[in-house]
Structures are given as C-alpha cells and as structure tokens.
A and B are shown apart, each in its own frame.
Chain A
Amino acid sequence: MLGYTLKRLLTLIPTLLVASILIFLFVHLIPGDPASILLGDSATPEEIASLSAHMGLDRPLWQQYLVWFKNVLHGDFGQSIFFKTPVLEVIADGAETSICLALMTMFWIVLIGIPVGIVSASFHGSWVDQITSGGAMLLASIPTFWLGLYLILIFSVGLGWFPSSGFPSISDEGGLSNLRYLILPSLTLAAPNAALIVRLVRASMLDVSREDHVRTARAKGLHPARVSIKHVFRNALIAVAAAFGFTFAALVSEAVVTETVFSLPGIGRLVVQSILRRDYPVIQGVILLIVLLYLVINLLVDLAYARLDPRVSLQ
C-alpha cells in the first residue's frame, strides 16, 4: 500500500509539470497584448513597450515560463492585470462562493441521485426503472444555462421565492440565510450531475447484483431490501466513489456556466471574465489550481479505491 501511494505521488509530478507548461503556452498564445489592453486606446507605442518591459513580456517565452513557475512554487501567482492585486487574493475572493455552491450541489446530488439510483436498480426493468433512468437521461440532456434561466423566470421573477442573482458573503449581514441566493444555482448545477450519479449507481448496482455473493445472500432468504442495500449498494458504492474525480471535472465545467447565469462572484465566472479581459496571470493561476485540485482528488480517490479493493494496488 505504501509503495503504491509513493508510486502514485511520483506520477503526479510530471503530470503537473506538463500541465503547467501547457497552461502557460495556451494562455500566452491568446491573441491580444495585455500591456496595450491595460493602457487603453490612447497609449503611445513607447508607453506600451515600457510597460511590456516592466511586466517582463518582452523576454523569451521560456524565460517567462521559468520565472512564472519559480514564483508559483513560492506561492506567488503574480498580480492580476485587471484588479492590480495578487492573483491568489482574487481567487480567494471567489473561493467562498464556489465552495458554498459546490457543497450545496453535492448535498442535492447525494440526497437525490443516490436514492433514485438505488430505486432504479432495485426495480430493474419495471416501469419505475424506465421512468427514473429515462428521466435521469433527459435531465442530463438539458443545457445547464437554459435550466438556470427558466428556474430564475419561474422561482425568482414569477413566484419571488428566491433571489435571482448575486451572493453576499455569509459573514455579511444576513449570515447563513444568504445561502438562499445559492438554492437555484445549486439546483441548476446539481441537475445534470445528479442524473449522472443515478445512471452510475444503477449501472454499478446491476453489475454487482450478478455476482455470486449476492446470489448466496438471496439464497439464504435475506429480505430483498436488505440484499439491495447491504450487499449490492455497499459494493456498488466503490465504483461510484471511483467516478468522483470525473464528477468533479463535470462540476467545474458546469459551474463556469451556472455562475455566469446567476452572476455569482465565484471562481467559475472569474475564469470567463478573465479570459474576456485577457488577464493572463489570473487565467493561469485559476486553471493551474483547478488542474491541481483535480489531480489531488483523483489521487485520493485512487488511494481510497486501493484501500477498499486490495486487488488494485497489486496490479
């Protein structure tokens, strides 16, 4: 187990290195010179050149990369061109919204996705299964932003139950009741992902239910519900946990859209706006942190998987 952990940790380093080079290249190939964007239309070529030199933009690309990477290792992601503050501060400002949104979304996914998946698999082939698994597929076919827009139209504009946009910090006036701003966004974000979990729980439960130990449990005369939960679901959960890394990636993608629809001050909207503003340091920093988070989550998932199923680490 220790050997496996070390091996997995070591493979993380080259992946992260290549990812950082890719991110740096992608962002620097984006057309548009940040110095001229920063100075506006009235700037003279001399002013632009001097600012470029000041920002280090006139040096060869590989030198710029090395400087950036060295600073990143020291925890310095540079200054945002737009906000004129350190990138980490800009990201930290959006973190509260995105973390609250993610937690609330996970709450809906677990609350709705897993029970519906169990029901769907337990009644495999019946009309209950057809409606739930078909419904899940339909839900996963809805564009996130379209769902968000209609939820706003119905529940904010029409019924006035929830606010339609923004998110004041929970440390501001209102406290935890500010979380009501996140109810519609988290439902929007949860819909396609809960649907994925329903399909996943169903598929892995059906796989497990064909195994010998399940047949034994049934043959012993255990109650079908007990077999479903204790013997099938618990084993199927391993496969569901293994797909958590994939869910995280899907969640980030859709959070970008959802935060834009609901004008939430989170990291997802920050990415889109930084791209539109050509704010290089912020784009680089955010994407690098997201990739790092994804790799760490996948590593933890793999380690947990190896712990739950010892056959994995022996391969």
Chain B
Amino acid sequence: MTLRTTIAAVFRGRKLAALGAVWLCIITVAAIGAQFIAPFDPLEIDPIARLSEPGLPYLFGTDHFGRDTFSRAVYGARMALIIGIGSVLVALICGGLIGLLSAYFSTLGHFLMRIIDVLMAFPALLLALVLMTLLERSVINTVIVIGIVYATTTARIFFGMTLKLKNEVFIDAARCSGAGHGSILFRHILPNLWSPLLVQASFIFAFAQLQAAALDFLGLGLPPEVASWGNMLAEEKIYITRAPWLLMFPGALIILSVFSMNLVGDAMRDSIDPRFKNDIAGI
C-alpha cells in the first residue's frame, strides 16, 4: 500500500479528522517559518500599546508588556512542536524499548515491569511536578520529564503487544531458521508494531501539550522568557478581567491542536491491526 492510499483509507468518511490533519499542517508550517510569519519580535516590548485590543497592527492584541500576541503565538507553535515531538521520542524510545525487552526476556521483564507499575501509581502531573523540581526549568528538561511520564504507559502497552506477537508462528519460524534475539526483536517483532506506535505517538503528542501547559501554569515548566502557549496563559492570567481576549488566543490554539491530534490518532487507531486496537488508550 502506498502512502497516498493509506492516508486516504485513514481519513475516508472522517471529515473532522481530515480537518484536524490540515490544522496540524498549518501549525507545522507556522512553527518552521515562525521568523517569516511573525510580524514582530516576540520579545519586543511596546509599553505604550500595553493590553491593546485585537486589531491592526497587533492582530491578536498585546500583553501587559506590550508584546505582540500574534507573534508570540506563532513562536509558541514552534515550542508546541518541539515539546510534542521531543516527548514522543523520549516516551517511545524509553517506553518502547522497556516494553519490548521486558516481554521478550521474561526474567528481566518481571523486574522492569514492577518498576513501571510503581511509577504508574504516581498521578502523571504529580510525577512531572516532582521531576521538574529536581531539574532546572528548561525546554530540554520539560521534554525529558513529560517523556518519562508517558514512557510508563507506553512500556505497558508495548509489553502487552509484544507478548501477543512473541508466540506467533512466524517468530518460531524465524528462530528455527537461526535468527538471533536482536534480529527477532528488531526485524520481526518491531516492524509489526510500527502502526500502533504511530497511534500511540499521536496520543502522547496531544497529552504532552496539556501537561506542558499545566506545568507552565504552575510555574514549573518552560522558563518564563520562552514564548509558549502555556507561558502566555500563565503570565496573562491576572489580566483576564481587563483583557479577556488575551487568554482566548493561546487557549484556543492549545485546544485546537490537542483536539486535532486526538482526532487524527482516533482515525488511525481504527485502521490498525485489530489485535492491537484495544491496547492503546487514547481519549
């Protein structure tokens, strides 16, 4: 199946999910070309135009420093993409490897999955809060912490899926023909898990946005000078009565992006191998 037919199959009869995919493309373009799209420097202060209403030249208005909300929102898209992709990579690489190895080598697995069980007893945000306190507030640390939090669920899911595959006849066949552990794991088992992996990635991406915004809001996420949607909300929350539109734009951007990612994930989940469908818990 070519890429085009796959995409067509995923979005057939799902107009909303297709719209979500389009929105995610727009966010990606904004993130990559932020410096060409943003009309102002996101850090440039214009004290005379503090808290101005949406209009011209400030499309989305300005914040309490007089910074252009639209430009900050465009740069925020870049941060959203970095946080999303970064946490997905951390979660999938750590969690995926732990799950895969634990299911394949059962002694090691017994030990590793117990640790995962313990970590899963911590509510996600609480774990993230404590880990963030250990580290400095920075982009990379936020990515690592959110990635670790979701590595636990990812490990559990991959553990289950690998267990199902491990006893299939084609794995026995590979073993009989002399394939080593590495070859069985990465050439026979892993390729079967690519599509559930992609679905899981989309849900982690969505959750990571909400988690990062909550951390920013509590003052334990990205450094305050970084233009992210969460920080924009955190900084302007006390001005909500004077400038109610200020929190509308970053909030709407978060909601739209998370919603789109959930829709796309949901559409993809329906078209993967039915054996794995119930393993992946999205929204």
Binding site for B on A (CB under 8 A): 14-15, 18-19, 22, 26-27, 29-31, 134, 136-138, 140-146, 149-150, 152-153, 157, 195-196, 199, 249-250, 252-254, 256-257, 260, 271-272, 275-276, 283, 287, 290-291, 294-295, 298
A271 to B123, CA, bound (A): 12
Contacts A18-B118, A253-B126, A256-B218 known; 10 new A-B pairs at CB < 8 A: A15-B117, A146-B233, A150-B251, A249-B124, A253-B124, A256-B126, A257-B217, A272-B129, A272-B218, A275-B220
Q: Let me know if A256 and B125 touch, CB within 8 A.
A: yes
Nearest residue (CB) in A for B260 is A141
B198 touches A (CB below 8 Å)? no
Q: Let me know if A250 and B134 touch, CB within 8 A.
A: no
Q: Let me know if A18 and B126 touch, CB within 8 A.
A: no
B29 touches A (CB below 8 Å)? no
B174 touches A (CB below 8 Å)? no
B241 touches A (CB below 8 Å)? yes
Known pairs A195-B283, A257-B125, A291-B121; A29 contacts B214 (CB<8 A): no
B31 touches A (CB below 8 Å)? no
What secondary structure prevails in chain A residues at the interface with B?
Answer: helix
Known pairs A15-B121, A26-B134, A146-B247; A271 contacts B129 (CB<8 A): yes
Chain B hits for A287, CB < 8 A? 122, 126, 130
Nearest residue (CB) in B for A20 is B118
- Shortest CB–CB separation between residue B217 and chain A, in angstroms? 5
Known pairs A15-B121, A252-B123; A196 contacts B220 (CB<8 A): no
Q: Let me know if B126 and A196 touch, CB within 8 A.
A: no
Interface size, chain B (Cβ < 8 Å): 41
Chain B hits for A290, CB < 8 A? 122-123, 126
Chain B hits for A134, CB < 8 A? 16
Partner of B258 from the list A30, A31, A141 (CB cut-off 8 Å) is: A141
A272 to B217, CA, bound (A): 11
Chain A hits for B237, CB < 8 A? 145, 149
B275 touches A (CB below 8 Å)? no
Known pairs A140-B283, A153-B240, A275-B133; A18 contacts B115 (CB<8 A): yes
B40 touches A (CB below 8 Å)? no
A157 to B242, CA, bound (A): 11
Nearest residue (CB) in A for B136 is A31
Chain B hits for A291, CB < 8 A? 121-122
Chain A hits for B134, CB < 8 A? 26, 29-31
Nearest residue (CB) in A for B241 is A157
Known pairs A149-B237, A153-B240; A143 contacts B254 (CB<8 A): yes
Q: Please list 16 pairs of residues, one from A and one from B, whose beta carbons are closer than 8 Å in the complex, sorted by A's number.
A: A15-B118, A18-B115, A29-B134, A136-B283, A137-B283, A140-B283, A141-B206, A146-B251, A149-B237, A196-B283, A249-B123, A250-B124, A253-B126, A287-B130, A290-B126, A291-B121
